[in-house]
């Protein structure tokens, strides 16, 4: 009996067609697809894709649905922009309403996801984990891989560091917007760097506004490279933006007071010709412990159809 797999293509973190980050969303509620078939389907549409599977228990909690994420090269534990795309595909199918939240089981744990009344997709990833800051020599190697000088990389008080909210990224602060725009020069070197540090790629960023006590207008300008996963440049990356929220709070750049939250905006990928806008919020509990990261953005459904597999 042929299997019919509905799919959608969405542009996430934008309301403009052909901007933001495109994602495939496949619905396999009968759980008939193998992991290899999911990878091949993602490769067929040439998009990092989310696969919506039947609900299951995960990590000791009941979930409303299960998500797996693939590129045409590999499985990814957590993909932010594809999760936003799932929400808008569910909205198009009438399976979620504005103001509703869901629990999604992923390879990176349980996520709370939903659509606000103002039609923003919101996700709460797992809390960030931090690798040790890179040494001076390791930081120089990162600069060389990105085609930068030693002086262009790093910005006090922010080191080059591996951070993960489910998918690990190497966060690379640089001195200016112009420096971000000039990267990269050697994707093979970035892939080798990713393998060495156990990440999916490099997230290069700078703070556009001065670092100050108030960050009401804090804006980050960034680009993200993941050639090891088959994505030379990822235009708008939710998982890396979430990691950045934890990183900026950890290093005091985002001054989140106990019992309070603080937000900032990420403008990613515009230098590469396809940009998206990501909202990030970090929150501390009353003891001062970072307790929540939220990523939000808009999206639009560009197309829908179905694959028929034997």
Q: What is the largest CA-CA distance in the chain?
A: 63
Runs of H (alpha helix) within the chain: 35-45, 80-92, 136-145, 177-182, 187-197, 238-250
Angle among Cα 146, 217, 298 to the nearest 5 degrees reads 75
CB 166 within 8 A of CB 125: yes
Catalytic residues: 48
Instruction: State whether residue 55 is helix, strand or coil.
Output: coil
Contacts of 146 (CB under 8 A, 6+ apart): 153, 172, 183, 184, 185, 190, 202, 204
The answer to whether 21 and 47 have CB atoms below 8 angstroms apart is: no
Q: Do the Cβ atoms of 121 and 99 come closer than 8 Å?
A: no
């Amino acid at each position: 009996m042929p299997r019919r797999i509905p799919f959608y293509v969405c542009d996430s973190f934008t309301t403009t067609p052909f901007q933001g980050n495109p994602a495939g969303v496949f619905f396999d509620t009968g759980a008939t697809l193998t992991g290899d078939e999911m990878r091949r389907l993602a490769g067929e549409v040439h998009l990092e894709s989310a696969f919506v599977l039947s609900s299951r228990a995960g990590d000791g909690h009941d979930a409303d649905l299960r998500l797996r994420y693939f590129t045409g090269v590999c499985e990814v534990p957590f993909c932010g922009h594809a999760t936003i795309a799932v929400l808008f595909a569910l909205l198009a199918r009438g399976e979620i309403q504005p103001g509703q939240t869901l629990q999604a089981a992923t390879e990176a744990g349980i996520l709370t996801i939903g659509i606000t009344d103002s039609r923003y997709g919101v996700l709460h990833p797992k809390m960030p984990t931090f690798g040790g800051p890179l040494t001076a020599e390791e930081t120089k190697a990162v600069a060389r891989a990105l085609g930068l000088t030693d002086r262009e990389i790093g910005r006090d008080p922010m080191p080059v560091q591996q951070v993960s909210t489910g998918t690990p990224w190497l966060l690379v602060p640089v001195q200016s917007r112009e420096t971000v725009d000039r990267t990269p020069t050697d994707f093979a070197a970035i892939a080798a760097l990713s393998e060495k540090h156990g990440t999916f790629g490099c997230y290069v960023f700078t703070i556009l506004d001065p670092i100050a006590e108030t960050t009401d207008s804090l804006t980050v300008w960034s680009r993200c490279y993941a050639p090891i996963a088959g994505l030379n440049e990822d235009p708008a990356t939710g998982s890396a933006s979430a990691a950045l929220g934890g990183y900026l709070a950890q290093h005091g750049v985002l001054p989140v007071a106990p019992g309070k939250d603080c937000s900032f905006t990420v403008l990613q990928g515009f230098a590469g010709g396809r940009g998206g806008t990501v909202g990030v919020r970090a929150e501390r509990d009353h003891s001062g412990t970072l307790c929540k990261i939220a990523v939000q953005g808009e999206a639009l459904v560009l197309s829908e159809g179905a694959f028929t597999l034997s």
